[in-house]
């Protein structure tokens, strides 16, 4: 079989020496664009280094020294893109952007792209970007958040970052916090965001959603300084992109400025990239820069391209090698002779080969602890913590709560208490912004965000378009610019449309950047079941398993207003001070619940205890109701409410129990759980989620491995979606189920008595 890697290398030398080079597309003169002789040489060197790193990575792979060979061959023209933008323009790149990274590194002193990329290839723990966790293109210094095998999942956060630039300017101008203070954004006010991807990736829903969101904003004259760069090589792994497809899709999109250039020609690419940057920076509008490129050497080192491309097509593509086009450009302007071009090519090849032994000799990650060291972001230092929160005066706070002055002293339900907590938190944190569907003037579906927009304005509490990928990706982008975003997902089932933005983007950033990049946020999600008057599984979703296997993610779920206040403050501080990604799961059925045992008892309402965030102490422990020693009921959310009802019934039967509200579902308070379990003779897990895949399975495992009891039983929902209407209660745990299970586990034959605390399956309200 022909070694096409070697063939592409040898062909460059042979065709340059013979001056058998492709024709250049007509362009402006380099001088008119400000490109000097040295500039052209610099760009060529970036292209050469990128190419030889690609070729070397495949040699290293064959020798067991490299582990990931998706390269940039054919896309080296993006070196000219890098030169057209400022080094502080944040860049979200896909995996064929080696030349971009190399070229950008030349704008900042002290960068060593050759050594850094080889360390990444070799998965060395000395890799300055990921610490050996993946072959990534990224750099904190170069303003390039790392990406791994990204397809299009980085586009929503690029869009969000671009949106955050204009938002930051507006907030600085408005000084719209009660304290009158304003925070400093991480990006300059005149920054532009760069985001590139392939033509096949343009079909992905995340790409379509992000581009649509950017255009949606621009259509309304909302600033959106971003350049989407589609590097069109005409194929996605083995599937050909239809001719003209990208232009037909994006050339006439409302709110989007379309440009095209020949990515094989450095001059044309640089000129159009300059224009794209100018439009985005000066007009604050999104640009779609469509760049024609080719793909050399297959999709990756393991890709047998000849299986789906005939040899004639492969050879025709190789004749269009962008390095040959640049060689032609340099010959046209009499910068190098053919011999000098070959000498430059071989010199850089030798430099790359010479650097390999040192890179592969560097240490690797050798323990689980080393691998996992970057899962949790690095917390803010004391200097930053000292100025994190604004001081809100009594008068300012009185004005903030003027619409609630007659209610502040009265016990309230969960929804109202979360609302008040958010009011206080927004006043104390100038960088906190909220975004989601219908959360502004409407106040959300359940009024949890009521009056927030009226108090803080549409720049801090904003409605989004109906696209969860854009909501969550937008939040990630906001966090990149120094904001603390609090996005809302309207219903738990809706998050499944966009879960990769949490799993694949937000939660992995610290891990793959070796704690250099973070995107802290609190994701509010209304969910779980038992909701009356709303239909079907899309609004009654009792599965949050999607969050439980995401390393580093924090998941909180309050069951009542008092805990709602405490947990929300803790979650905000975890995000702000410890830079964590937090999911705050709010039980819809308990939002407005006031009574526990009988109508009017008000036992599920609580007074609002004001406390500043700076005074608040994070507490991730379980909360225990009662001190019974017969049965320990482990539960959360709606299950806690049902279990408290059952507890009263069980006590009338002589069964003393305690209800342990987990509160934080990831990570679990394992020590606290085991302590409560060990204090009781029997354990009953009440889990409103499905029997299979629910947190009850993790609790059983924990108890078996660490506790001193084996008397464990479960009450869970059935393995079913939630049906419409009252049929829902046939597949969900009830108070009667809990009482019966407690009786069974303790060997008691008592039955539920018909007294004033008797509860039926339909009692939750």
How far is Cα of residue 189 from the mean position of the Cα atoms in its chain? 23
Asked whether residue 706 is assigned to any structural domain, the reply reads yes
> Are both 324 and 449 inside the same structural domain?
no
> Are both 435 and 363 inside the same structural domain?
no
**Do the beta carbons of residue 89 and residue 143 sit within 8 Å?**
yes
Asked whether residue 79 is assigned to any structural domain, the reply reads yes
Render pLDDT for 500-513 as a digit per residue (tens, 0 to 9).
999 999 999 999 99
Asked whether residue 694 is assigned to any structural domain, the reply reads yes
Render pLDDT for 418-435 as a digit per residue (tens, 0 to 9).
999 999 999 999 999 999
DSSP 749: -
Confidence class for position 69, pLDDT limits 50, 70, 90? confident
**Do the beta carbons of residue 53 and residue 98 sit within 8 Å?**
yes
d(CA 668, CA 697): 13
DSSP 503: I
Residues 6+ apart with CB under 8 A from 26: none
Render pLDDT for 354-363 as a digit per residue (tens, 0 to 9).
999 999 999 9
* Range 199-204 average pLDDT: 94
> Are both 212 and 291 inside the same structural domain?
yes
374 token code pair = 């970057």
> Are both 363 and 438 inside the same structural domain?
no
The residues facing 432 across adjacent strands are 484
Residues 6+ apart with CB under 8 A from 313: none
Q: Which domain holds residue 88?
A: 4-372
User: What is the share, in percent, of the chain residues with pLDDT greater than 90?
Assistant: 86
The CA-CA-CA angle for residues 39, 44, 47, to 5°, reads 130
d(CA 352, CA 506): 34
> Are both 258 and 367 inside the same structural domain?
yes
**Do the beta carbons of residue 89 and residue 107 sit within 8 Å?**
no
Q: What total number of domains does the chain contain?
A: 3
At residue 140, the pLDDT reads 95
Kind of pairing, strands 137-139 and 144-147?
A: antiparallel
> Are both 189 and 48 inside the same structural domain?
yes
Asked whether residue 344 is assigned to any structural domain, the reply reads yes
Output the CA torsion sign for 531, 533, 539, 540: positive
Q: Which is more confidently placed, 182 or 234?
A: 234
d(CA 390, CA 97): 41
Confidence class for position 751, pLDDT limits 50, 70, 90? low
* Range 87-115 average pLDDT: 96
Render pLDDT for 567-597 as a digit per residue (tens, 0 to 9).
999 999 999 999 999 999 999 999 999 999 9
The residue among 539, 570, 590 that closes a domain is 590
Output the CA torsion sign for 715, 718, 722, 725: negative
> DSSP string covering 319-380, please?
TT-HHHHHHHHHHHTTS--HHHHHHHHHHHHHHHHHHHHHHHHS-B--SHHHHHTTSSPPPP
Asked whether residue 612 is assigned to any structural domain, the reply reads no
What does the H/E/C string look like for 562-585? HHHHHHHHHHHHHHHHHCCEEEEE
Task: Return the CATH number at 732.
Answer: 3.40.50.920
d(CA 752, CA 686): 18
Residues 6+ apart with CB under 8 A from 289: 81, 227, 228, 229, 230, 259, 260, 261, 272, 273, 276
Q: Is residue 668 pLDDT above 80, yes or no? A: yes
Render pLDDT for 18-50 as a digit per residue (tens, 0 to 9).
999 999 999 999 999 999 999 999 999 999 999
Asked whether residue 138 is assigned to any structural domain, the reply reads yes
> Are both 363 and 232 inside the same structural domain?
yes
> Are both 301 and 340 inside the same structural domain?
yes
Q: Which is more confidently placed, 173 or 683?
A: 683
At residue 750, the pLDDT reads 59
At residue 382, the pLDDT reads 83
At residue 175, the pLDDT reads 66
At residue 394, the pLDDT reads 93
Q: Which is more confidently placed, 27 or 344?
A: 344
Confidence class for position 388, pLDDT limits 50, 70, 90? confident
> Are both 553 and 631 inside the same structural domain?
no
- Reduced to 3 states (helix: H, G, I; strand: E, B; else coil), residue 272 is helix
Q: Is residue 385 pLDDT above 90, yes or no? A: no
Asked whether residue 450 is assigned to any structural domain, the reply reads yes
**Do the beta carbons of residue 434 and residue 488 sit within 8 Å?**
yes
* Range 614-642 average pLDDT: 97
Confidence class for position 765, pLDDT limits 50, 70, 90? very low
Residues 551-589 as b or e (16 or more Cβ within 10 Å = b)? ebbbbbbbbbbbbbbbbbbbbbbbbbbbbbbbbbbbbbb
> Are both 16 and 82 inside the same structural domain?
yes
Q: Is residue 760 pLDDT above 50, yes or no? A: no
> Are both 580 and 708 inside the same structural domain?
no
Task: Return the CATH number at 390.
Answer: 3.40.50.970
d(CA 616, CA 607): 17
The residue among 318, 350, 372 that closes a domain is 372
* Range 649-656 average pLDDT: 96
* Range 200-215 average pLDDT: 95
Asked whether residue 217 is assigned to any structural domain, the reply reads yes
> Are both 551 and 688 inside the same structural domain?
no
Q: Is residue 749 pLDDT above 80, yes or no? A: no
Q: Is residue 177 pLDDT above 80, yes or no? A: no
Mean pLDDT of the chain: 93
Confidence class for position 532, pLDDT limits 50, 70, 90? confident
Q: Is residue 755 pLDDT above 70, yes or no? A: no
The residue among 570, 590, 610 that closes a domain is 590
User: What is the share, in percent, of the chain residues with pLDDT greater than 70?
Assistant: 96
Q: Is residue 762 pLDDT above 60, yes or no? A: no
């Amino acid at each position: 079989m022909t070694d096409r890697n070697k063939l592409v290398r040898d062909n460059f030398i042979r065709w340059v020496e013979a001056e058998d080079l492709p024709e250049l597309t007509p362009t402006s003169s380099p001088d008119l664009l400000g490109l000097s002789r040295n500039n052209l040489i610099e760009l060529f060197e970036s292209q050469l280094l990128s190419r030889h790193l690609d070729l070397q990575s495949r040699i290293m792979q064959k020798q067991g020294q490299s582990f990931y060979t998706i390269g940039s061959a054919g896309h080296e023209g993006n070196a000219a893109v890098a030169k057209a933008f400022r080094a502080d323009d944040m860049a979200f790149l896909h995996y064929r952007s080696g030349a971009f990274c190399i070229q950008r590194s030349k704008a900042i002193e002290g960068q060593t792209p050759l050594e850094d990329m080889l360390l990444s290839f070799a998965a060395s723990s000395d890799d300055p970007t990921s610490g050996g966790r993946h072959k990534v293109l990224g750099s904190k210094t170069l303003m390039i958040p790392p990406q791994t095998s990204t397809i299009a999942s980085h586009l929503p956060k690029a869009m969000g970052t671009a949106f955050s630039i204009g938002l930051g300017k507006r907030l600085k101008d408005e000084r719209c916090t009660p304290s009158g203070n304003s925070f400093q954004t991480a990006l300059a006010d005149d920054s532009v965001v760069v985001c590139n991807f392939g033509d096949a990736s343009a079909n992905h829903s995340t790409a379509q959603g992000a581009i649509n969101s950017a255009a949606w904003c621009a259509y309304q004259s909302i600033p959106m300084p971003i350049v989407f760069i589609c590097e069109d090589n005409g194929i996605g792994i083995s599937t050909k992109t239809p001719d003209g497809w990208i232009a037909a899709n994006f050339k006439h999109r409302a709110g989007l400025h379309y440009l095209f250039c020949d990515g094989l020609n450095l001059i044309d690419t640089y000129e159009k990239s300059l224009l794209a940057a100018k439009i985005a920076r000066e007009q604050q509008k999104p640009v779609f820069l469509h760049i024609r490129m080719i793909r050399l050497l297959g999709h990756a080192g393991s890709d047998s391209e000849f299986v789906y491309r005939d040899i004639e097509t492969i050879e025709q593509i190789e004749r269009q090698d962008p390095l040959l086009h640049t060689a032609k450009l340099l010959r046209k302007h009499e910068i190098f002779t053919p011999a000098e071009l070959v000498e430059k090519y071989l010199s850089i090849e030798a430099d790359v080969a010479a650097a390999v032994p040192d890179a592969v000799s560097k240490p690797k990650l050798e323990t689980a602890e080393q691998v996992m060291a970057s899962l949790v972001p690095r917390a803010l230092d004391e200097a930053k913590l000292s100025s994190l929160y604004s001081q809100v005066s009594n008068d300012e706070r009185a004005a903030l709560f003027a619409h609630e002055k007659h209610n502040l002293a009265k016990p309230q339900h969960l929804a109202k208490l979360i609302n008040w907590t958010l009011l206080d938190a927004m006043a104390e944190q100038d960088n906190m912004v909220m975004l989601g569907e219908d959360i502004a003037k409407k106040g959300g579906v359940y009024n949890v965000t009521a009056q927030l927009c009226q108090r803080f304005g549409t720049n801090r509490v904003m409605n989004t378009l109906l696209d969860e990928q854009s909501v969550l990706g937008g939040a990630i982008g906001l966090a990149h610019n120094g904001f603390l975003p609090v996005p809302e997902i309207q219903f738990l089932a809706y998050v499944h449309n966009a879960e990769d933005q949490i799993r694949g983007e937000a939660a992995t950033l610290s891990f793959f950047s070796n704690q250099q990049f973070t995107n802290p946020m609190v994701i509010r999600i209304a969910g779980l079941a038992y909701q009356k008057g709303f239909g079907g599984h899309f609004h009654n979703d009792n599965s949050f398993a999607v969050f439980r296997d995401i390393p580093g993610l924090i998941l909180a779920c309050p069951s009542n207003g008092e805990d709602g206040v405490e947990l929300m403050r803790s979650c905000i501080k975890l995000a702000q001070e410890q830079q964590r990604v937090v999911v705050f799961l709010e039980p819809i059925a308990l939002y407005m619940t006031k009574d526990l045992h009988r109508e009017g008892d008000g036992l599920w309402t609580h007074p609002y205890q004001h406390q500043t965030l700076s005074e608040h102490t994070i507490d991730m422990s379980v909360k225990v109701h009662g001190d019974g020693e017969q049965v320990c009921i482990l539960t959360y959310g709606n299950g806690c409410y049902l279990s408290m009802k059952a507890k009263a019934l069980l006590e009338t039967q002589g069964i003393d129990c305690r209800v342990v509200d987990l509160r934080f579902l990831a990570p679990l308070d394992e020590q606290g759980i085991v302590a409560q379990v060990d204090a009781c003779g029997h354990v009953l897990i009440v889990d409103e989620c499905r029997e299979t895949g629910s947190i009850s399975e993790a609790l059983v495992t924990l108890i078996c491995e660490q506790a001193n009891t084996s008397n464990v039983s479960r009450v869970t929902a059935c393995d079913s979606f939630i049906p419409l209407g009252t049929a829902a209660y046939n597949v969900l745990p009830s108070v009667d189920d809990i009482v019966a299970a407690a009786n069974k586990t303790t060997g008691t034959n008592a039955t539920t008595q018909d007294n004033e605390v008797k509860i039926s399956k339909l009692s939750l309200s």
